[in-house]
Structures are given as C-alpha cells and as structure tokens.
Amino acid sequence: MCCFLFKSCSIFLSLFLLITSCQAVSFNTIFFNSTAAAAADSDTSFSSRKLVASKCNWFQGKWVYDSSYPLYDSSTCPFIDSEFNCQRNGRPDSSYLKYRWQPFSCNLPRFNGLNFLEKWRAKKIMFVGDSLSLNQWQSLTCMLHVWVPNSKTTVIRRDGLSSVTFEEYGVTILLYRTPFLVDLVNEKDGVVLKLDSINGGRAWEGMDMLIFNSWHWWTHTGRSQPWKYMQEGNKKYTDMNRLIAFYKGLATWARWVNRNVDPSKTKVFFQGISPTHYEGRDWNQPAKSCPGETQPFFGQRYPAGTPMAWVVVNKVLSRIKKPVYLLDVTALSQYRKDAHPSAYNDDHSTDCSHWCLPGLPDTWNQLLYAFLFS
C-alpha cells in the first residue's frame, strides 16, 4: 500500500511538471490536494526505507521526556552561534531540551562521540546547504566536543566555507553554504539562479561524507529573494512555480551526484525537509505561532500533513543511481513546535524556522549516527 501511494505521488508530480504556466494555477489545486492526501497516508517514503534498521523504521516514533537530556550544555560548547543559543538569549523554559526521539519498534543507539571520532579518524565530513545545515553542523560539533572537551580544535569561519577540526583525530567537520545547491551568479542584468548548473560542486569533491540540504530559500520572495532571474539553458525567467524550480534544481544536483560521487569512498545523505511553525493552524491552533510553545505536538498525525517539497525530494532521490540516504526528519520535526528560537535569538525577531541548540538537530545527528554505527 505504501509503495502504491508513493508511486501515485510520483505520477502526480510528473504530470505537474508537464503542465504549462498558463495551466499552473488550476492544476496546482488538484496536485496539492491529491499529493498531500496520498503522502499523508504513506507510512514511509521510497528513500527513507534505505535508512530502516533491520525491522525498525527510525523515523516512526514519538517524543518522550528524558531527564538525562540534553546531550551537551550550550554554555560549554564554543561552536554555537548566538542565533541558536536560546538559553543564553533568555529563554525561560527548559523542557524543550528534555525530549528524546523514541522509534516505535526499536531504540536509537546512544550517541558516542569517541566512537564517532575513532571511526572517522583522518576523514572529512561536509554539510552542504543553507542555515539549516549550519544548525546541524553546529549541533554535531557540540555533540563531539562534549566527549573530548580538552582535545585541541581548529576553527575556521568564513561566509562560504567553515570548518572545525578535532586535531587529535584528524577529523574535520565542514560547512559549505549554498542555499540552492545550484549556482547563484552575478551577471550584468542582475543575480541569476542557474537551475542547471553546479560549478560550486567542485568544493564538495574529495569528502568522505556529504550531508546535503535545500528548500527554505526556494520559497523566499520580494526583498528576501536573492536572485532577479532564474535560468535554464539559454532561457531566463522572472519567476516560476517554486516547486517546479526546486525539482529542476534538485534534479541538477542528482546528476552531479551520479557523475561525481564514488560510493566506495563517499557516503551521501540528504537531510529531509525541515518544517516551520509560523502558522498555528498547522497543528489546529490557528491563533498561535511558535512563540510561547513549550511542548511538542503529541497527536498521532500532524494536522498539516506532508509538505509538497517532501514529495519532490523523494521523487528525485528515487531516480538517483548512486546510493543516497534520506534523513527523513520531516514528520518527527513537525511535532516540535516548541523547539524554535522564536524571540530568543540574537536580534529578538520571531524565528520559527531554525532550531535551538541543544535541541532538535541533535536528533538529526543521532539518526545519522544510527545509520553509521548500526
């Protein structure tokens, strides 16, 4: 049943991508309603099943209170940016720090930073993507640091490329900032988002592990939109349906993986779609947003359903020839309406997009650890 439903989503998406721009408005309604219902009924995606341990699906479970959490203290981790350091920014509650993800039919292995550093000795691990990748990158460096607090580290922070090296082990955790994965180029007539070009991918070569992420910036419009045109081939567009653009960009990334990744040398992951919690109607409380939320959503199924970007990601991953593993964090993250910085960030704006550290991205890294050590 699950496979049938996912294939249905894929068929709908394929049809969607063939619709001309003049038909897009009417078809959007049909596509969004149909694929949302089908995806919501699906227990697991085609790609996430690659990360199922024996008979256990790590992504199906519930949040449970655990007094032993968090896994580290934000006051002793030197790598957390102020925008994610909710406790230092005055967040008065702390229960959001105490929740552990519990799969229904198994237990996730407890994260062991020494095991991680030993197994990946002399290796390079790179997160590639937007500020959600920054969130996960800082989480992993903190999770490792708490195990070796006296180990020498070398930190390099730049706009495009940053790294933390644990010198004793020769392990380097890198972050390459590229919100779209495809190229963003300054040209005479303005900034152009190249949907079919990844020249920046040269920086990803030679890594032992790559963890990719993209989606949030594809939805930006107006002043927060960093490009003037989109381009595919020789044709430029002032805009197009953002799901179609995301699909095209992600398909370009998939071709890059197929051409450039040697699976015997490099493991590749894609971080699933990270949800936002700006709209309380998503969890049946339309008057609310993430500020003031102190508990996860505890219902069996998240009312907003599955994001359409999730369908796009699974469609693209199902066609990649090289092994790429999906960290299918979308559903488990949807429950965590309580885990955002909200107003407790560095500029006190309302942030229902990123996540406090310690916090939810630690679970994403526990899932990564589970795959690597199971």
Annotated catalytic residues are 131, 351, 354
How far is it, in rounded angstroms, from Cα 261 to Cα 270? 14
How far is it, in rounded angstroms, from Cα 211 to Cα 125? 8
Integer CA distances (angstroms), 265 to 115, 259, 262, 305, in order: 20, 14, 6, 37
What three-state secondary structure class fits 263? coil
User: Are the C-beta atoms of 270 and 326 separated by less than 8 Å?
Assistant: yes
Give residue 252's identity as a one-letter amino acid code. Answer: T
CB atoms within 10 A of CB 18: 9
How far is it, in rounded angstroms, from Cα 4 to Cα 132? 31
How far is it, in rounded angstroms, from Cα 330 to Cα 317? 15
Nearest to residue 137, comparing CAs of 124, 150, 121, 122? Answer: 124
Integer CA distances (angstroms), 219 to 58, 65, 160, in order: 29, 34, 21
Strand partners, 156: 163
Q: Please give the structure tokens belonging to residue 86.
A: 């909710």
